[in-house]
Structure 1
Amino acid sequence: MTEYTGFEIAVVGMAGRFPGASTVDDFWDNVLAGEAGVRRFTDEELDAAGVTAERRAEPGFVPMGGALEGIELFDAKLFGYSPRDAAVLDPQQRVFLETAWHALEHAGHLGGKDVVGVYASASIDTYLLRHLLNNPAVPGGLQPLDLLLANDKDTLASRVAYHLDLTGPAITVQTACSSSLVTIHVACQALLGRDCDIALAGGVSIRPPVHEGYQHTEGGILAADGRCMPFDADAHGVVAGNGVAAVVLRRLEDALADGDTIHAVVKGTAVNNDGADKVGFTAPSVNGQARVIRAAHELSEVDSSTIGYVEAHGTGTALGDPIEVAALTKAFVNPPSACALGSVKALIGHLDAAAGVAGFVKASLAVRDGVVPPSPYFTAPNPETGLENSPFFVNREAQEWPGPRPRRAGISGFGMGGTNAHAVLEEPPSPEPMGPGRSRQLLVLSAGSEEALGESRKRLAEHLTADHVSLADVAHTLRTGRRTNLPHRLAVVAADPAEAASVLASAWTGSGDRRDVMFLFPGQGSQYAGMAEQLDREEPVFRAALDECAVLLPFDLRDVLADAERLTRTRYTQPALFAVEYSLAKLWEHWGVRPAAMLGHSVGEYVAACLAGVFSLPDAVKLIAARGELMDRLPGGAMLSVSLGADELALPADVHLAASNAPALSTVAGTFEAVERFEAQLSVTSRRLHTSHAFHSAMIDPMLAEFASKVSEVELREPRIPFVSNVSGTWITSGEATDPGYWVRHAREAVRFSEGLRTLLAEGPVNLLEVGPGNVLTTLARQHDLAGGGHAAFGSLRHPREDKHDLETTLSTLGRLWIAGVPVDLAAVTADERRRRVPLPGYPFARERHWVDLPGTAAPQVVVNEERVSAAEPAVTGDLAVITGIWQELLGIPRISPHDDYFELGGHSLLATQILARITAELGVSLPAGAIFEAPTPARLVALVEQQRGEHQEDDDEFARLLAEIRDMSPEELRAELDRERDAQEISQS
């Protein structure tokens, strides 16, 4: 086994887009197949790139390169950009932002709480130079600062940190074509120095127009025929490419502890500069390259003889290749018996600032899979390199790893100007076996649009059909390592991958903002044998809470929960219900579902009071056990559910209202004979309840004195969480909660559940969560027109007649609460077990064209989402027309409605100042600097304008009145008035 020094860095995620490959998986397939992404451009592509016929006819013009397709497309809405701002944003920054998202997703660390650093590099911004500057097609209203922020390399890393909410260092690194390998070095150092817990490192090189081709000059660095052939006898230069890649790095010990999927291990990295030890500034240096390679070996504590592959800088130039081989030969103090050389530039071209990370990705996949990638172009070694007399060779076909295990590889990146970088990689450790996990898993997806959610669902379903998929690991990764806060959401519960793939098509979906949850605790009658038994087996938090209750009871709680006959005895029923409901509440709280308020039904109010802090748990269990035992001793009685509201009942003296449950549903209680006589007289539907006693009626009067004595023995405290009283149907007061007499009345008087529920619902759209067995209270709640008020109701445990696993019901409700907008803690679901974060399909960005074409090549196109345009919208006039017109121009959106939110459209504070200035110029009303924050829609801005005008008119009217008064005064009267005003000011100041 490999021994680690504690200084290793794990490669836990990667993403990229390359010529001919839109993902890393496609890229690796192309590498193994030897398929080149460098190609010849069509006449149509050359036309769009502004390449004239005269230029194409020039000697040495090569219409080839490694083009990155789709660079004009961007998911602007997801990242909060207006179409105008998206159109002028450097495509390098757009593409790198999306790649950073995918890399962190691939690692299972997007949206977590770790401190993540960003280290990034980019090439020169030709989009600014060629597409934007002095181009009349650029959207209007842009200030120099707008273009600077959108295109300056300095903003690259910070932009990623801002949009992905990453709080570690954000540093842009520029060392020419070694830049992105240097970002990896800097990221590794930051991890070892504890600057961050996770590091994202990479680079991007996109130089529009990407289908332009290039001009070859004799003796220059660019190849004459569009082929890059490193170390080959026919090598004569490099070809330009465009691409992007990013890797996610962690300290190895952290990655192993957290169950990350590890693709490779960075043993060490080194960076240096040639200094003046070369023939010119742009020339490479044997000594400089050899020093950095040897330094990386020493820092890695790796014997050079164990390295089986080097991903070389490999430019394929007459000067560069011999120097690189000479440097490798000098640096490998203990030469290996055989070490393969390769360079990804042969397939995708030279990616400039992104070249190093592209080679790093290739080498990581090589050591992971144990395959030496082929160089199919290779014919014979360049005799100037001396490869025949060295341990280094270039293989035409893919082959098994040479040399001993563990597999190790080196990666070189040499920047023009002399900044050299080298890294040593090792194959990943074997993954630790994971347990099977819970019997049911909650899978969640969130997206910025319904279309993206649908595509995510499709991709996940396809992934789940692959071999050797662990549903527990997939679910864990979705809950903890992906963005779960996007508005459009999906949740599903399944037992295995096949079931998950099947039920994804009918999963719950939605987009809600009901954040508040109200706990409902059912009372006696909802219990059944085996309630929550499967939660007790599989959920440690539930089990621990149930254990707390069990040790406080004078009987074996779990025996009672499994015994249907004993559960009919009130002395057992009430404590058992309390224990299950209390334990369920603790599980919900562990998952981040905390009640804004609570309502219990009869004995359920004791759970609410305990959670609110009125009772300690021991006191609550003591009281509920005493209450159940005292009631159990009473003579039996009957209870009847009647389809009438409480105020519609005409009750005889020997029948009592026991509960007001719904607008047209009540429960009455009394002796068996009295209830039977009353039932016979009814003309509406009624149903006898399966209870042993006539609760909340005169039949419990004999126990009240003794129960009052029991209550007086416990400490009662003011509630910390609001809950509704069964006695009054409204919020309990501190005086009531701490009055022993209240709890005596609570046992005797009718349960005002319906009135209490209306009290909860008056708080606005809420989520009602029944925290107990069955669905009695949610059924009652749905008779209160929940949908009309924007409310929803959910259960925690299955109905006794349902053939469902407890976890299926509970996790389903958790998923639906999350969809509704409740800020649940999805990571807590498996916080008690070790799981692996696994690579999953990436987010399907809804890319649209946001681009400014080259001057003279096409009409300006700034595309927006056509869903926003509606012919049914009424025409706007007056101030509203002026303000919406200003927004349309400065945001680049052709149609804006009066109630569109400025910030949801992609507006920002810098643009807001321009909008307010335009409003002042066109409407003559000066709005305060924060007006758009106060009034973020056109309609509200119009109201603010009208308010400002009204205030100005009042000031004008007052001034006119004072002026008229002065005109009517004599000089003596005016002098006396001024004296009085002066005296008043002096008195005020003193």
Structure 2
Amino acid sequence: MSSPSVALVGLDCVFPGAPGPDAYWDLLMRGGDATGEQPGPRRFGPGYETPVRGGFIDDADVFDNDFFTVSPREAAAMDPQQRLLLQCAWRALEDSGRSPRSLAGGDTGVFVGMMGSEWGQLHLGDYGRVTPQLGAGSSAGMAANRISYHLDLKGPSLSVDTACSSSLVAVHLAVNSLLSGECGTALAGGVNLVLTPALGLVYAQMGLASPDGRCRPFSADANGIARSDGVGVVVLRRLEDALADGQRVYAVIRGTAVNQDGRSNGVTAPNRHSQREVVAAAYRRAGVTPGQVRFVEAHGTGTALGDVIECGALGEVHGVPREEPCAIGSVKGNLGHTEGASGIAGLIKVALALHHRIVPASRYADRENPQLRLAERGLALLKAPVRLPAGEVVAGVSSFGMGGTNAHAVLAAAPRTARGGRRRAAAAPAGVFTLSADTPEALRRNLAAQAEAVAARPRGDAAALCWTSNRVKTGLPYRAAFTATDTVELAAALRAAAEDGRLAAGIADRAWRPPVIGFLFTGQGVQEPGMTAALYRQSPLYRRRLDEADAALAPHLGGSVRDLLLGGDPALHRTRWAQPALFAVGHALAATLTGLGAGPHVVLGHSVGEFAAAVAAGVLTLEEAARLVAERARLMDALPEGGGMLSVRAGREEVEEFLTAGPGVSLAAVNGPQNTVLSGGLAELERVAGVLRGRGVHCRAVGVSHAFHSPLMDPVLEPLAAAAAGIAPAAPRIPVASTRYGRLLADEPMDGAYWAGQAAGPVLFADALADLVARTAPTALVEIGPAPQLIQLAGRSGLADGIRLLHPSPGRDATARDLAETVAALYRSGLEPQWDELYEPVWRTTERLPPYAFSTEHRFWHAGAARPLVSPGPAASPASSPASSSPASSSPAASPAGAAAGPVPAPAEGGGSDGSDGSADPVLAAVVGAVVEVGEYAPERVDRNSRFYEDLGFDSVMIMQLKDRIETSLPQAGGIAVQQLLPALRSVGTLADFVGEWISVGVRP
């Protein structure tokens, strides 16, 4: 019986001639040779000038250090293997259909295989230039820890060195960790960079090196090993978890095994029996027989002894009766030997073969080595690609270490899953395509990459692409979001944004924190037959919420307000139906947004809109509010007609003279500084309108049947209060801005007396809005109603800049696209929506998107073993900075003014500065200079507002170095303890203020 399986759900790789998984698969399918002569920048330098042939990654020196908040000094000190792994891990997680940031703080494990650190060999021997950054940057053990640290992953994190089997052993450990429950997601991978000639010389002296720099596995022409670069990372999950989350599965790992040669004929010599046993053990754990295995990605180094022993071991296992021989091959024929990364190179090859259901041909299969006796052993090299049959296919991957540690993994094709056909609709559903990056420039770069990829797709619905982007392309501060129904529209929007040099307002924002959202619930007067009908048809979430409101109202109305509303019945204008319809729409819109994760932090309701606001705030239940609204509408509808309302474009004081104490003309609403509403008899209102128009004041009759919010409502007050008598309102869960009182509620209950007074008294909307804004500081005001009314009033009320005014249903013909636009705007402002609720389940399928496009601007590389990488100790001059080709650190950092050694006078009033660069404050200048030196930043990168952790990547080591440099530049600042310094490390400016105050006060230990 087979053990539980592990799904391979994401992958990324960079190999010679293959800068990504697609290029890697293309290289394999065309049988390409990615080996070549060592690039000029990679020449080994003095003592070994002879060019070397092998497999080399282009641009292995490129690293987007700003993305990972790594200072230029630390980036230059880091083994480039660590830098490659960081970017590869990020892309692999994206490929798994999840945002890397979504895993932060969780139990994700990281398992990395690599063979030592040639970087450390190059640089740690120069003892006078050893630094903490170089020490950590040269440690092989830090390779996995870097990923865990920068992505905040808290599961197991370890690096493995078993020589050439390292990365497949890492996969074995990751699989076991998942199956034991130690972690829920695992990153497993390997990396190798050829930085010194040492290991090549060892191979040559052992007779293993290929004279022409090519590996020819299982060929009659095989003549040894050619060293190569490579990095690959896979994302693994328990199969049941991956399927439950709807992740794409490339392949399934059915079982793995690891063993050791033990004492054989030499510590570096392979052992046929151990190789046979590790394969057999993996098959037992996987619950498969050798006859089921269709092909094996062999270790296949192309050495005479290694190929013979491996084929002998494979033959002993696979030489069983079978319909066709077991195909074998080795990617080393395409890449060369990637050593510590060779296992992951083979694993990714097999996963892609199972995913595409085709096995690439074996390079050099045309001249099979007859000594291998492949046919009689049940083995065969593939001279052409072979298509795999439908159903389950099983394959194996072997990787053997020079010290005798052997690993084998058994993979199978992904199980078929029922994904359900997509329904054809008259109009494709609108989705929101999201994208985020760490800088505006990075956002533009990624917009262009996504635009190109979407444009290359056949025209079709964009909903699944949008849903995938919501899961994957989020979590970074600069955001873009576009609503789209098809790929052509989406590609055009992405392209236009990428080509906009300014990244137009509304497309990309710096999302520092989540938005503070205020809901404004519209009152009577904006209702119209058919309102939100299109949204009801297109949005299942809105449909569900409107249905529940209708169900709550129906027992009290004697009919369906939903059917009346959607049917376009003009009876909707009657108060009996208008108020319940507005309540139903308000509740449905508010509940829909809340279900999308865009719920309110404060609510305000205009007149009848306060009932839906009370439900949103948790004061009333839906059923309680529905009963009160229905009773209010019935009572008001039964009043004699003959009253009306008049909207006046004038302030409250300008209409004061027309107000009467009793029936006549009353102040019904104060909607803004120049917007009031009068209520009363029609004749009285017409007289007032005539006078005001004669004065040049604009007046407009409001389309209502009664004189609401006037003494003419007195007959309904007592029965309305009685209807609410049995209700015990709860305390609000969120603040409620009361338009009855014109302010946020304090301890006043929204009981029967409240609702009676609310029906008769004026609506103090402007006052309530002003108090809401002053006391809750909203960043977005969302109108909850069927037409834009309150946000227009809010827009004319003199709101502070930066408050977004949004409306998910702006008019009778509003659609699900308008709802999506509102969610997109809130996302750009920092909201993390519940995106799933925007899409029906049929559209929640993972589509492949291009990985994050990292910056290629910064390059960090050594210029030879004798050239220094980092400056010496803390007191060293910046003139001995790292030799990096990064623009940020390619030349020694110049000491800014004030940073030179020697006393610096304290400012008269402590810290502070008139210039962010420190030009007006010598203390700030000294702090900026110290930061520039410690981090090796370009001087223009650091100013008063730079944050130590978020922007500059400072850690405890750098803080100690910073303290030393500040004390060197400012002797008066001596004696500050690190513990005293820590609270001031919010930004460069706050640290300068603290140091300046310390100096001015003259504190001494």
- Aligned to 1:789, the other structure's residue is in SS state coil
Q: Does 1:125 align with 2:105?
A: no
Q: Relative contact order (alpha carbons < 8 A, sep ≥ 6): 1 or 2 greater?
A: 1
Paired amino acid for 1:746: Q
Tell me which moved more, 640-649 or 29-38.
640-649
Q: How many Å separate the matches in 1 of 2:997 and 2:374?
A: 82
- Paired residues of 2:972 and 2:999 also in contact (CA < 8 A): no
Q: How many Å separate the matches in 2 of 1:192 and 1:696?
A: 67
Counterpart in 1 of 2:9? 12
Matches within 5 A, 1:356-505: 356-401=343-388, 406-436=392-422, 439-465=429-455, 466-467=457-458, 471-480=462-471, 482-505=472-495
- Paired residues of 1:67 and 1:211 also in contact (CA < 8 A): no
- Aligned to 2:256, the other structure's residue is in SS state strand
State the shift of 1:468 in Å: 8.1
Paired amino acid for 1:395: L
- Aligned to 1:112, the other structure's residue is in SS state helix
- Paired residues of 1:210 and 1:242 also in contact (CA < 8 A): no
- Paired residues of 2:436 and 2:477 also in contact (CA < 8 A): yes
State the shift of 1:62 in Å: 5.9
State the shift of 1:423 in Å: 1.3
- Paired residues of 2:422 and 2:842 also in contact (CA < 8 A): no
Q: Does 1:561 align with 2:565?
A: yes
Q: How many Å separate the matches in 1 of 2:672 and 2:539?
A: 34
- Paired residues of 2:319 and 2:377 also in contact (CA < 8 A): no
Percentage of matched positions with identical amino acids: 35
Matches within 5 A, 1:691-710: 691-710=704-723
Q: How many Å separate the matches in 2 of 1:669 and 1:292?
A: 89
Q: Does 1:521 align with 2:526?
A: no
Change (3 A) 1:532 1:380: same
Q: Does 1:807 align with 2:820?
A: no
Instruction: Could you tell me which runs of 5 or more consecutive residues in structure 1 were left unpaired when the two chains were aligned.
Output: 957-990
Q: Does 1:610 align with 2:599?
A: no
- Paired residues of 2:984 and 2:994 also in contact (CA < 8 A): no
Change (3 A) 1:5 1:779: farther
Change (3 A) 1:850 1:564: farther
Change (3 A) 1:368 1:899: closer
- Paired residues of 1:719 and 1:737 also in contact (CA < 8 A): no
* CA-to-aligned-CA distance 1:757-801 (integer Å, 9 cap, x gap): 111221335211112222111111111233x4321111121322x
Aligned counterpart for 2:313 among listed residues 324, 327, 330: 327
Q: How many Å separate the matches in 2 of 1:433 and 1:193?
A: 30
Counterpart in 1 of 2:587? 582
- Aligned to 1:368, the other structure's residue is in SS state helix
Change (3 A) 1:259 1:6: farther
Change (3 A) 1:212 1:198: closer
- Aligned to 2:258, the other structure's residue is in SS state strand
- Paired residues of 1:157 and 1:172 also in contact (CA < 8 A): yes
Q: How many Å separate the matches in 2 of 1:151 and 1:685?
A: 77
Matches within 5 A, 1:907-922: 907-921=954-968, 922=970
Counterpart in 2 of 1:742? 754
State the shift of 1:422 in Å: 0.9
RMSD: 2.8
Counterpart in 1 of 2:912? none
Q: How many Å separate the matches in 2 of 1:83 and 1:783?
A: 49
Change (3 A) 1:214 1:567: farther
- Aligned to 2:204, the other structure's residue is in SS state coil
Q: Does 1:259 align with 2:213?
A: no
* CA-to-aligned-CA distance 1:561-586 (integer Å, 9 cap, x gap): 12341210111111111122112222
Q: TM-score, normalised by structure 1?
A: 0.89
State the shift of 1:356 in Å: 0.3
Paired amino acid for 1:561: L
Change (3 A) 1:483 1:442: closer
Change (3 A) 1:740 1:371: closer
Q: How many Å separate the matches in 1 of 2:390 and 2:311?
A: 22
Counterpart in 2 of 1:841? 850
- Aligned to 1:334, the other structure's residue is in SS state coil
Q: How many Å separate the matches in 2 of 1:469 and 1:927?
A: 64
Paired amino acid for 1:771: I
* CA-to-aligned-CA distance 1:25-46 (integer Å, 9 cap, x gap): 101101111111110236x446
* CA-to-aligned-CA distance 1:63-112 (integer Å, 9 cap, x gap): 21111121211111111111111111111111111111111111102333
Aligned counterpart for 2:653 among listed residues 647, 663, 666: 647
Q: Does 1:573 align with 2:588?
A: no
State the shift of 1:469 in Å: 6.3
- Paired residues of 2:113 and 2:169 also in contact (CA < 8 A): no
State the shift of 1:672 in Å: 1.3
Change (3 A) 1:860 1:158: closer
Counterpart in 1 of 2:908? none
- Paired residues of 1:261 and 1:431 also in contact (CA < 8 A): no
Aligned counterpart for 2:634 among listed residues 626, 629, 637: 629
Counterpart in 1 of 2:834? 825
- Aligned to 1:917, the other structure's residue is in SS state helix
Counterpart in 2 of 1:660? 670
- Paired residues of 1:123 and 1:207 also in contact (CA < 8 A): no
Aligned counterpart for 2:81 among listed residues 73, 92, 110: 92
Counterpart in 2 of 1:898? 944
Tell me which moved more, 723-732 or 713-722.
713-722
- Paired residues of 1:83 and 1:893 also in contact (CA < 8 A): yes
Counterpart in 1 of 2:167? 180
Aligned counterpart for 1:860 among listed residues 862, 868, 883: 883
State the shift of 1:950 in Å: 4.5
Counterpart in 2 of 1:966? none
- Paired residues of 1:263 and 1:365 also in contact (CA < 8 A): yes
Aligned counterpart for 2:53 among listed residues 64, 68, 85: 64
Q: Does 1:536 align with 2:568?
A: no
* CA-to-aligned-CA distance 1:537-576 (integer Å, 9 cap, x gap): 4444433333332223222121221234121011111111
Counterpart in 2 of 1:316? 302
Q: How many Å separate the matches in 1 of 2:448 and 2:943?
A: 33
Matches within 5 A, 1:132-281: 133-134=125-126, 143-144=131-132, 146-208=133-195, 217=204, 219-276=206-263, 278-281=264-267
Counterpart in 1 of 2:872? none
Counterpart in 2 of 1:73? 62
Aligned counterpart for 2:687 among listed residues 671, 677, 694: 677
The alignment of Structure 1 onto Structure 2 pairs a total of residues equal to 931
Change (3 A) 1:834 1:45: closer
Change (3 A) 1:745 1:219: closer
Q: How many Å separate the matches in 2 of 1:707 and 1:218?
A: 99
* CA-to-aligned-CA distance 1:133-164 (integer Å, 9 cap, x gap): 5288x7xxx743x3332222222222212222
Change (3 A) 1:219 1:191: closer
- Aligned to 1:39, the other structure's residue is in SS state strand
- Paired residues of 1:106 and 1:840 also in contact (CA < 8 A): yes
State the shift of 1:6 in Å: 6.4
- Aligned to 1:948, the other structure's residue is in SS state helix
Tell me which moved more, 304-313 or 332-341.
332-341
- Paired residues of 2:463 and 2:839 also in contact (CA < 8 A): no
State the shift of 1:180 in Å: 0.8
Q: TM-score, normalised by structure 2?
A: 0.88
- Paired residues of 1:204 and 1:353 also in contact (CA < 8 A): yes
- Aligned to 2:450, the other structure's residue is in SS state helix
Paired amino acid for 1:362: K
Matches within 5 A, 1:290-305: 290-305=276-291
Change (3 A) 1:894 1:509: closer
Counterpart in 1 of 2:976? 927
Q: Does 1:885 align with 2:874?
A: no
- Paired residues of 1:376 and 1:397 also in contact (CA < 8 A): no
- Paired residues of 2:3 and 2:285 also in contact (CA < 8 A): no
State the shift of 1:300 in Å: 1.8
- Paired residues of 2:124 and 2:135 also in contact (CA < 8 A): no
- Paired residues of 2:918 and 2:944 also in contact (CA < 8 A): no
Tell me which moved more, 585-594 or 164-173.
164-173
Q: Does 1:38 align with 2:25?
A: no
